[in-house]
Amino acid sequence: MNDHLLETNKLTKRYGGLLVTDSVSIDVRPGELHAIIGPNGAGKTTLINQLSGEMSADSGDVQFLGQRVTALPIYERARRGLLRSYQITSIFEDFTVLENAVFAAMGAKEHAFHFWKPMLERADLVAVAREVLGVTNLLDRAETMVSELAYGERRQLELAMALAARPKVLLLDEPMAGMSVRESASVVQLLKKLKGTYSILLIEHDMDAVFALADRITVLVYGKALFSGTPDEIRNDPEVRAVYLGNETKAQG
């Protein structure tokens, strides 16, 4: 038995005659950060949608914790610990940061929605919430209303809420999108801190961030996994550089 927490086998999605993911086989190992890169239209978001359960596969399999989850809905995959950050982060504007984190921790427990009992009286959930706010550098904002948060802080709260659900594999789709250079640098430092404790599949366009964070990188081009390797192997592979950079230029031009 292998040690892969998450694994795909020839995962395929078609839209008419267009192959969006073309027999993609990847895996995520315990404690690693595996990044998926590729030009616009490479199929990255479609792949993460298939992993989270938001989109069905036309063929191929998704294995999680050694079990086939290809046909399972989003909530069942999330309950098992396969979480995409925003899918469980319905942020409540009129709640505090702490209340949002407590609500996320509550939602992770199958029978924890005791609405007749105030959330903040649940010492176990408050402890989890404070822990993840500490990890995401938001503990000093615990009593702040979400409506008062800056954009970068809101994205940090989304991540905190995902962590409150105790994921086994965390799916992150461009967590630095729309952030300033300073905000992005803060998220990079945060993800470095999470590495090893959490297993993460990351999609991100910021190549500096990817190479600073990833243990392994898979290059996706036209729906196919062109190459997987360490950051150094990706940097030094002439075919990957030529194909990826060529397609990146074309896609963004």
Measured distance CA(30)–CA(33) in Å, rounded: 9
Residue 116 has pLDDT above 60, yes or no: no
Domain final residue, candidates 109, 138, 166 = 166
Q: How many CB atoms lie within 10 A of CB 86?
A: 18
**Strand ranges, E, within 27-97:** 27-28, 33-37, 59-64, 67-68, 82-84
Q: By C-alpha distance, which of 232, 240, 176, 225 is closest to 7?
A: 225
pLDDT in tens, 162-178: 999 899 999 999 888 88
Coil vs helix vs strand at 196: coil
Question: Tokens 């090893």 correspond to what residue?
Answer: 196
| Confidence (pTM) | 0.88
pLDDT in tens, 240-249: 777 665 544 3
Lowest mean pLDDT among 36-45, 80-89, 148-157, 230-239: 80-89
pLDDT in tens, 59-113: 999 999 999 999 999 989 988 999 988 644 568 888 999 999 998 888 766 444 5
What is the chain's mean pLDDT, rounded?
A: 87
Domain count, the chain: 2
Domain final residue, candidates 99, 132, 166 = 166
Q: Does 141 share its domain with 22? A: no
Q: What is the pLDDT of residue 247?
A: 47
Q: Does 65 share its domain with 179? A: yes
Letter for the amino acid at 125? L
Q: Does 230 share its domain with 107? A: no
Q: Does 118 share its domain with 215? A: no
Residue 114 has pLDDT above 80, yes or no: no
Give the pLDDT band of residue 117 (cuts 50, 70, 90).
low
Strands 224-229 and 18-24: unpaired
Q: Does 73 share its domain with 171? A: yes
Coil vs helix vs strand at 195: strand
Which residues span the domain enclosing 154? 90-166
Q: Are 217 and 243 in contact (CB under 8 A)?
A: no
